[in-house]
Amino acid sequence: MVHPQALLDELGRAPDVPAFEHGSRVTSRGELRELAGRFTAGLRAAGLGPGDGVGIATAVTPEGFAAIVAAHVLGCRVVGIRPGLPVPQLRHIVGDVDALVVDAASESPELLGTVAGVPILRVGPELLAAYEEPVPQGRPEDVATVVFTSGSTGVPKGVAYSYRALTEGRVWQPPVPGSAHERLGAGFARYLLFGTLSSAVMLEQLGVCLLAGGTAVVPEELPDFPWVLPRLRISAALMTVPRLHQVLEVLREEDVDLSSLRVLIVAGSPVPPHQLAEAAERIGPAMHHAYGQTETGMLTICPAGEGLGSVGRACDTVEIESRDGEIWVRTPSAFEGYWRDPATTAEVLRDGWVRTQDLGFLDEAGYLHLSGRARDVVIVNAIIHYTGPIERAIAAHPDVDQAYVVAVPDPVTGEAAHAFVLPVPGREPDLGAVRKAVAAELGEAAVPARFSFVGAVPVAPSGKPDKAALRRSIVD
């Protein structure tokens, strides 16, 4: 059995149970399976099959998800396209897709101009006219999905998952009775699904929901936390540190009914311990925090009141080791490698183990404690940004001699980028122009939150700039 057979079986097992809910529109599991069959026929008629790349640029809809399922049925390589990407990054991501699926909400001149010459398959009656029974044809060794990172390195990295990983991983399989996966899934009766279908973590949680018999609830507008939770009777949701901060600000002043909530997972960037403690007190046992990476999926999860100072214990099927203080993990759902980048793959993936490039240790009870990073990154709003490209973009300004970027704690975004700038002697850089240059090169999200002008940079014993000393100068 190969992915997505287990999902198709689950949809067929209870065809009348709602799979998606969006306002007054309810799509049953049987209807979602029917949509997947119609997309299968439409994509096959467009000449797509095993190994072909299919870009998916749709809103969060049953049709968008059914298109992903259908592409996997045909053994294609799915590339989710995040909205709002700068044109250079967009061009890189869609560079080798063989067709692009779009809907009216996501179609844009920038997107269509970038994929000139690539067949455009618009969601509508023509694409969905015929039906084909969805029988998965993926080959275990083929790439099933490529998830592109933020692009803060200048060129987004493609994290490639094989059909074997999707088939053998826990997310797209029925939960094993009595497992932690089953206990987690029991809280996903009504899962809040929002954002973009190109998000690996959102799709991962959608898999937990659907395989546990739950319903994905899509808000009609951007979710207004925390009020969206009682309004839509949400039982499970995923959020970043900034959203948790927003929720806590409201709960300090107002009484919001969160009685429907069973699982609230905060992930993507470090959660300050005091904030986690407050969340556990105000939100209750539903509060969880988790740790994972795009390359591995969720690795640990922990109720907020457990494992003080840790990020939790390993999920089902996950092994964790600390090797000389660096965390390595092994899981059947791990990525196959970076798309068309064997050199970087070799640095991170070895003998089935993934080098997380995070530092930490396991305590006697098996809880994982993180203490730092072996890579020079800052995680803002759950998005990883490599500091090197940001530094180069700042230093390209004619009035800047050198630039150094460090990650500092931030109560709203988890972490923030702080740039230390050495001006060219006698000049004063225009920070507005510097910010625009970084945004044009790497996207608005990569622009540092704060800048400091300095006359010199401390040097470490190695002779390199001492970023730890720079960081201490503003956080001590």
User: Where does a domain end: 341, 373, 405?
Assistant: 373
50-87: string of b/e by CB count within 10 Å (b at 16+)?
eebbbbbbbbbbbbbbbbbbbbbbbbbbbbbbbeebbe
Q: What is the rounded distance in angstroms from the CA atom of residue 309 to the CA atom of residue 276?
A: 10
Q: What is the mean pLDDT of residues 383-389?
A: 85
Assess if residue 157 is contained within a domain: yes
For residues 83 and 177, state if they share a domain.
Answer: yes
User: Where does a domain end: 373, 388, 405?
Assistant: 373
Backbone angles phi, psi at 459, to 5 degrees: -115, 135
**Is pLDDT larger for residue 60 or for residue 401?**
60
Residue 363 has pLDDT above 80, yes or no: yes
**Is pLDDT larger for residue 375 or for residue 352?**
352
Q: What is the mean pLDDT of residues 118-132?
A: 97
Q: What is the mean pLDDT of residues 91-103?
A: 93
* pLDDT of 211: 97
- Lowest average pLDDT, out of 152-156, 213-217, 454-458, goes to 152-156
For residues 157 and 251, state if they share a domain.
Answer: no
Structural domain for 125, as ranges: 5-185
* pLDDT of 140: 97
pLDDT bucket at 87, cuts 50 / 70 / 90:
confident
pLDDT per residue as tens digits for the range 98-110: 999 999 999 988 8
**Is pLDDT larger for residue 153 or for residue 201?**
201
Assess if residue 196 is contained within a domain: no
**Domains: count for the chain:** 3
SS3 label, residue 112 = helix
SS3 label, residue 107 = coil
For residues 127 and 228, state if they share a domain.
Answer: no
pLDDT per residue as tens digits for the range 48-76: 999 999 999 999 999 999 999 999 999 99
Q: What is the mean pLDDT of residues 445-466?
A: 82
For residues 117 and 149, state if they share a domain.
Answer: yes
User: Where does a domain end: 324, 342, 373?
Assistant: 373
What percent of the chain has pLDDT above 70?
Answer: 97
For residues 456 and 413, state if they share a domain.
Answer: yes
Residue 421 has pLDDT above 60, yes or no: yes
Tokens describing residue 215: 């319903």
For residues 366 and 419, state if they share a domain.
Answer: no
Residue 309 has pLDDT above 90, yes or no: no
What percent of the chain has pLDDT above 90?
Answer: 69
For residues 31 and 111, state if they share a domain.
Answer: yes
For residues 246 and 338, state if they share a domain.
Answer: yes
Give the helix ranges, DSSP H, for 142-269.
163-168, 180-185, 200-211, 228-231, 241-253
Q: What is the mean pLDDT of residues 81-92?
A: 86
Q: What is the mean pLDDT of residues 241-261?
A: 91
For residues 123 and 235, state if they share a domain.
Answer: no
Assess if residue 190 is contained within a domain: no
For residues 81 and 128, state if they share a domain.
Answer: yes
CATH number of domain containing 50: 3.40.50.12780
Assess if residue 398 is contained within a domain: yes
pLDDT bucket at 398, cuts 50 / 70 / 90:
very high
Assess if residue 195 is contained within a domain: no
Residue 86 has pLDDT above 90, yes or no: no
Concatenate the DSSP letters of all residues of 392-440 into one string: HHHHTSTTEEEEEEEEEEETTTEEEEEEEEEEPTT----HHHHHHHHHH
* pLDDT of 305: 79
pLDDT per residue as tens digits for the range 11-57: 999 999 999 999 999 999 999 999 999 999 999 999 999 999 999 99
pTM of the model: 0.84
For residues 363 and 391, state if they share a domain.
Answer: no
* pLDDT of 153: 52
Pair 208, 262: CB distance under 8 Å: no
pLDDT per residue as tens digits for the range 312-333: 999 999 999 999 989 999 999 9
CA distances in angstroms from 380 to 287, 416, 446, listed in the order given: 21, 6, 9
Residue 280 has pLDDT above 60, yes or no: yes
**Partners of 162 in the beta sheet?**
143
CATH number of domain containing 442: 3.30.300.30
Q: What is the rounded distance in angstroms from the CA atom of residue 253 to the CA atom of residue 277?
A: 17
- For 159, how many CA atoms within 13 A lie in the half-sphere containing its CB? 22
pLDDT bucket at 92, cuts 50 / 70 / 90:
confident
Assess if residue 228 is contained within a domain: yes
Residue 270 has pLDDT above 90, yes or no: no
Q: What is the mean pLDDT of residues 294-302?
A: 93
pLDDT bucket at 475, cuts 50 / 70 / 90:
low
SS3 label, residue 293 = strand
Average pLDDT, the chain: 92
For residues 395 and 360, state if they share a domain.
Answer: no
Tokens describing residue 335: 């990525």
Residue 151 has pLDDT above 70, yes or no: no
* pLDDT of 352: 94
Residue 96 has pLDDT above 70, yes or no: yes
pLDDT bucket at 218, cuts 50 / 70 / 90:
very high
- Lowest average pLDDT, out of 40-54, 218-232, 388-402, goes to 388-402
Assess if residue 258 is contained within a domain: yes
Burial tier of 455 (Cβ tally within 10 Å: 0-12, 13-18, 19+): exposed
Assess if residue 207 is contained within a domain: no
